[in-house]
Amino acid sequence: MKYRTSPADLEGMPPGVPHIIGNEAAERFSFYGMKAVLAVYMAQYLHLMGSTAGAPMSEASATEYVHYFNFAVYITPLIGAVISDFFLGKYRTIIWLSIVYCMGHGALALMGTTGSAAFWLVFGLALISLGSGGIKPCVSAHVGDQFGSKNAHLLPKVFNWFYFSINVGAFVSMMLTPWLLEWHGPHWAFGIPGVLMAIATLVFWIGRHRFIHVPAARGELLKDLTDGGGAKVLLKLLPLYALIAVFWALFDQTGSTWIFQAMDMDRQFLGFEWLPSQIQSLNSVFVLTFIPLFTFILYPLVSRVWKLTALRKIGIGLFLMAGSFFLVAVIQTWIDSGERPSISWQILAFALLTAAEIMVSIVALEFAYTQAPKTMKSLVMCYYLAAVAFGNLLVAGINHFIQIPDAARQQAALIHLDAEWKSSTRTAILPGYDDKTGTDDDFVATYENGHLRKIHIPYLEPLAATATRIREKAIALGKPPSLDEVGDLGKDPWGNPFRYEILNSTRIRLISAGPDRASGTRWDTGIEIALPEPAPAKEEKHWSDRFHPERPWLDRRKEQLGVTDDPAENETYPHLTFFSGGMNKLQGAPYFRFFSWLMLGTAIAFIPFALFYQPQTRLQD
């Protein structure tokens, strides 16, 4: 059956727009629902999905892998754009890649049912990155294709509704999926978004007869790229999206580092305690509130005295993003001193971040479409999305660089485990820094049925005695003591004074520079002290209690596998966990300050670009 290939002579809204908006709401539910719990799942659940428990992933590693996934999601639009503009057209590309998208969600739902959970995780995320990323430039460009010259004035309105639908789906999913993960486990948390993706695909297919189907350009696209000024447009936009990449490096950390920060805060807000992954849903609430506020009130008022062009909006948004991260850095400073600040401070940071998002993301999305030649809409939209990809690659690379390897686990990985080791409990002496056994820096590793269960570090006794004294002092004070209140920490066998670090209100670290006498290396060893959790507020029955078990899924899974919360030397030294390496070179408040200054520098660098760029609007006829 033939479809209409050019916009109708309409002055009102095109008939296919409701199907696109409905599809986007359901698709964004599936994506943001899965993404909302991904970092927490990697750090706290993934190692428990097999028949026996493995080693948990660090928060920095989880952050790294989440942002590698984000990079894949936003770099694969190039594949979708090429398929769309050269071969299938936007509609057929969206349909076929949506099926791949659904298969990815199905793979995530299979984690822990058969085979390796890590395999299904990687396989599922690969399919989702191809499906979700591949349709991104096509969907947003498909919206613009529905408009002609008579109703082009409605483009800003429909892009706002487009963003509105994204945030409705995102809000509902980011409230629901963390709750599902907490009480009903990963299969429900990843399965429900898969169902919504299937619904999104169905809604889009139903609207096929109401859409404008702009065909693939093929040779015409290449002509525009070479002779029609397309390459010049790409070069002109390159500085813009290089700067916007830094914006996305900060923005997408709301799904990683901001979640881990929320774990250390008092999350009582609006009458109940929020899960750490649920806080990011308020970004969608702010978007739905701020879009009409900005569009109908703030923009017109400011434009009376200073015309708010697209580039000026973007510039203001970049400065707002810097302010948001400076506030998050202040919050982390409080956490690093042992306080438990209210989550309302992070919510304020979300409000600033959302204001920046509206002035950067929505405007840049529309700006990319209007600047693209008529046959290159998907390609230039993908160019914009590549900025998101490289912003996430920057975060992943930084989190990879700051991680310090665990020397003891590296040594343990070299042990060959034969059949007897895989069916019994064994102990192995691991050489330390001097690469010899029988010396003061040896590690002692205990294996159960072939799995590393705990590692005994050198000079354990004096370190544990000091840690126990600190813990008793913290309990007496009701908070982590300052270094002055702790007193003399002593030295390790190599003459290094112990370092004292407060991680948050319930965790303290004592760290030795180790036998290499250099801080911040894989030979650093130490002890993490667990303090009592703050006394909970008076518990009241909530209406949702009837819909979940008495205990969270994670607690039930740990009990099933026989896993304790204090895995190292738990019998002799409860509440103390010993470690070697495995820390970060950049953590806590300095981590957030680094990105804050990076964003501020980017906002300043944007000013000369905005002054000299000459925009040229191009729409479909």
User: Do residues 145 and 7 touch, judged by C-beta distance below 8 A?
Assistant: yes
E strand or H helix at 408, and its extent? helix 407-412
Q: Give 445's strand partners.
A: 428, 455
Q: Assess contact for 152 and 619: CB atoms under 8 A.
A: yes
Residue 443 pairs in a beta bridge with 430
Confidence bin at 228 (pLDDT 50/70/90): low
Query: Comparing C-alpha atoms, which of 526, 529, 528, 404 is closest to residue 457?
Result: 526
Question: What pLDDT was estimated at residue 567?
Answer: 41
Residue length of the chain: 621
Give the integer Cα–Cα distance in Å for 468 and 458. Answer: 17
Most confident of 382-386, 505-509, 532-536: 505-509
Torsion angle, alpha carbons of 124, 130, 135, 140, to 10: 100
Kindly tell me if the per-residue pLDDT of 32 is higher than 50.
yes
Selected residue with higher pLDDT from 354 and 579: 354
**Which position has the higher pLDDT, 371 or 43?**
43
**Which residue ranges form the domains of the chain, and what is each CATH number?**
17-403+589-612 (1.20.1250.20), 407-580 (no CATH)
Range scoring the smallest mean pLDDT among 10-24, 269-283, 470-484, 503-517: 10-24
Q: How does residue 313 score in pLDDT terms, banded at 50, 70 and 90?
A: very high
DSSP states of 205-244: HHGGGGS--PPP-THHHHHHHHTSSHHHHHHHHHHHHHHH
Neighbours of 100 (CB within 10 A): 17
pLDDT, position 148? 67
| Distance (Å, whole) CA 460 – CA 578 | 9
The arithmetic mean of pLDDT across residues 483-505, rounded, is 87
pLDDT at 566: 47
What is the number of other CB atoms lying within 10 angstroms of the CB of residue 339?
17
Q: Is 173 exposed, middle or buried (0-12, 13-18, 19+ CB in 10 A)?
A: buried
Q: Is 451 in a helix, a strand, or coil? A: strand
Q: For residue 269, what is the DSSP state?
A: E
Confidence of residue 572 (pLDDT cuts 50, 70, 90): low
Determine the average pLDDT of the residues in 121-146: 83
Average of per-residue pLDDT across 262-275: 90
Average pLDDT on 156-170 reads 74
Predicted local distance difference test score (pLDDT) of residue 383: 76
* Range with the poorest average pLDDT among 274-278, 530-534, 539-543: 539-543
Residue 318's pLDDT band, with cuts at 50, 70 and 90, is: very high
Confidence band of 183 (pLDDT split at 50, 70, 90): very high
What span, in angstroms and rounded, lies between the C-alpha atoms of 507 and 530? Answer: 5
339-348 residue pLDDT tens: 999 999 999 9
Sign of CA dihedral 561, 567, 571, 575: negative
Q: Which of 207-216, 356-365, 436-445, 606-615 has the lowest mean pLDDT?
A: 207-216
Range with the largest mean pLDDT of 16-25, 140-149, 212-221: 16-25
Question: Is the pLDDT at 569 greater than 50, yes or no?
Answer: no
Backbone conformation region of residue 514, classed left if phi is above 0, alpha if psi is from -120 to 50, else beta: left
pLDDT at position 527, please?
A: 86
Predicted pLDDT at 302? 92
Report the percent of the chain where pLDDT is more than 90.
Answer: 36
Most confident residue range from 114-118, 221-225, 496-500, 605-609 = 605-609
Distance (Å, whole) CA 172 – CA 530: 35
pLDDT in tens, 79-98: 887 787 777 777 888 888 88
Output phi, psi for 398, to 5 deg.
-65, -45
pLDDT at 185: 93
Q: Which residues contact 518 (CB under 8 A, 6 or more apart)?
A: none
Q: What is the pTM of this model?
A: 0.88
Residue 508, phi then psi, degrees to nearest 5 = -130, 150
Residues 393-414 have pLDDT tens digits of 999 999 999 999 888 888 877 7
Average pLDDT, the chain: 83
Residue type present at position 312: R
Beta strands in 375-434 (DSSP E): 425-430
Looking at the predicted structure, is the pLDDT value of residue 196 above 90?
no
Is residue 150 scored above 50 in pLDDT?
A: yes
Looking at per-residue pLDDT, the higher value among 9 and 189 belongs to 189
Region 286-294 average pLDDT: 87
DSSP state of 536: P
Half-sphere exposure of 195 (CA within 13 A, CB side): 8
The closest alpha carbon to 504, from 579, 589, 577, belongs to 589
Least confident of 255-259, 601-605, 606-610: 606-610
Residue 232: per-residue pLDDT: 74
**pLDDT (mean) for 446-453:** 73
Residue 9 pLDDT? 64
The tokens for 374 are: 């008529």
- Tell me which H or E stretch contains 557: helix 553-561
User: Residue 78 above 50 pLDDT?
Assistant: yes
Task: Provide, rounded to the nearest whole percent, the portion of the chain with pLDDT above 70.
Answer: 82
Task: Kindly provide the residue ranges of all beta strands, DSSP E only, lying in 270-375, ordered along the sequence.
Answer: 272-273
User: pLDDT value at position 568?
Assistant: 44
